């Protein structure tokens, strides 16, 4: 039985993007199960559908022959063990520990960036981004931390590489952040903007973005800065 990955709207669901891009880019076959957002109310169609496989009623969810894994870090770790030949984590022990650390930091941190710049791949919100940058010190601090983190990791790699050289879970984890930087036009140094471009050009990321652009759903609660298209 093929792996199944339950995801939400590709335009909005940053959590879903991580394992989907990871599996697509690594060449791990899976069946996508799209559960489109309607609302997150307890009795919404979205919640009812997800609770059939995940008591939390959230995406993403990975199902492997009836075995259910939720939470993006747990999914990533499961895939790394299930497909060791894909080398989803760096092979070097210290690099692997660092990759796990930065993914955990992304998983639990950068809350101002998440809250004020929700992922919206289809939108172009550079004017909004300028206002957010001016008014939200937390966003500026998150981006400063992000730049320091990326700069340190990329400095240890050959020019034009990814965070740990070859594609890894870490790049999949930061792919939604790359989308936020593009959507809101957040200022980052040229070398880091080049990293954003490299991530955006990865076939797995491009496939997600292309699908997001043709969804044409407008979910009001995920559109704090637009009244419509």
By DSSP bridging, strand 3-7 and strand 61-64 are antiparallel
Strand, helix or coil for residue 198:
helix
pLDDT at 229 over 90: no
Q: Give the pLDDT confidence of 152-174 residue by residue, as tens digits.
A: 999 999 988 999 999 999 999 99
The answer as to whether 186 is a domain residue is: yes
Enclosing domain of residue 15:
3-86+216-222
Q: Give the pLDDT confidence of 203-226 residue by residue, as tens digits.
A: 999 999 999 999 999 999 899 998
Give the CATH number for residue 153. 1.20.1050.10
129 and 30 inside one domain: no
Number of domains the chain is built from:
2
The answer as to whether 228 is a domain residue is: no
Alpha-carbon gap, residue 91 to 84, rounded angstroms: 10
Average of per-residue pLDDT across 127-135: 98
The answer as to whether 152 is a domain residue is: yes
Give the CATH number for residue 28. 3.40.30.10
Average of per-residue pLDDT across 126-146: 98
Q: Which residues contact 101 (CB under 8 A, 6 or more apart)?
A: none
The answer as to whether 227 is a domain residue is: no
Q: Give the pLDDT confidence of 33-52 residue by residue, as tens digits.
A: 999 999 888 999 999 999 99
pLDDT category of residue 1 using cuts at 50, 70 and 90: low
pLDDT at 135 over 80: yes
101 and 80 inside one domain: no
Q: What is the CA radius of gyration of the chain?
A: 17
205 and 112 inside one domain: yes
Alpha-carbon gap, residue 194 to 83, rounded angstroms: 30
98 and 75 inside one domain: no
Phi, psi of 58 (to 5 degrees): -125, 155
Q: Give the pLDDT confidence of 95-117 residue by residue, as tens digits.
A: 999 999 999 999 999 999 999 99
| Rounded (10°) angle between helices 190-201 and 137-155 | 80
201 and 111 inside one domain: yes
The answer as to whether 141 is a domain residue is: yes
Q: Give the pLDDT confidence of 65-95 residue by residue, as tens digits.
A: 999 999 999 999 999 999 999 999 999 999 9
Distances (CA, A) of 131 to 25, 89, 127, 144, 228: 34, 37, 7, 17, 19
Q: Which residues contact 115 (CB under 8 A, 6 or more apart)?
A: none
């Amino acid at each position: 039985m093929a792996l199944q990955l339950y995801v939400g709207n590709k335009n909005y669901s940053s959590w879903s993007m991580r394992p989907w891009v990871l599996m697509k880019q690594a060449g791990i076959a899976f069946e996508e199960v799209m559960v489109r957002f309607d609302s997150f109310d307890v009795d919404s169609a979205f919640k009812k559908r997800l609770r059939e496989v995940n008591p939390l009623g959230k995406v993403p969810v990975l199902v492997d022959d009836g075995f259910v894994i939720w939470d993006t870090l747990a999914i990533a770790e499961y895939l790394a063990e299930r497909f060791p030949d894909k080398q989803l984590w760096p092979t070097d022990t210290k690099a692997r520990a660092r990759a796990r650390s930065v993914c955990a930091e992304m998983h639990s941190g950068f809350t101002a960036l998440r809250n004020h710049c929700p992922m919206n791949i289809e939108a172009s919100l550079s004017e909004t981004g300028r206002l957010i940058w001016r008014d939200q010190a937390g966003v500026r601090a998150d981006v400063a931390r992000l730049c320091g983190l990326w700069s340190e990791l990329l400095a240890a790699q050959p020019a034009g590489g990814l965070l740990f050289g070859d594609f890894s879970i870490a790049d999949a984890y930061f792919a939604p952040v790359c989308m936020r930087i593009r959507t809101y036009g957040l200022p980052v140094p040229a070398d880091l903007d080049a990293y954003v471009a490299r991530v955006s050009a990865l076939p797995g990321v491009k496939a997600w973005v292309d699908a997001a652009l043709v969804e044409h759903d407008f979910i009001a609660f995920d559109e704090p800065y637009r009244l419509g298209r």
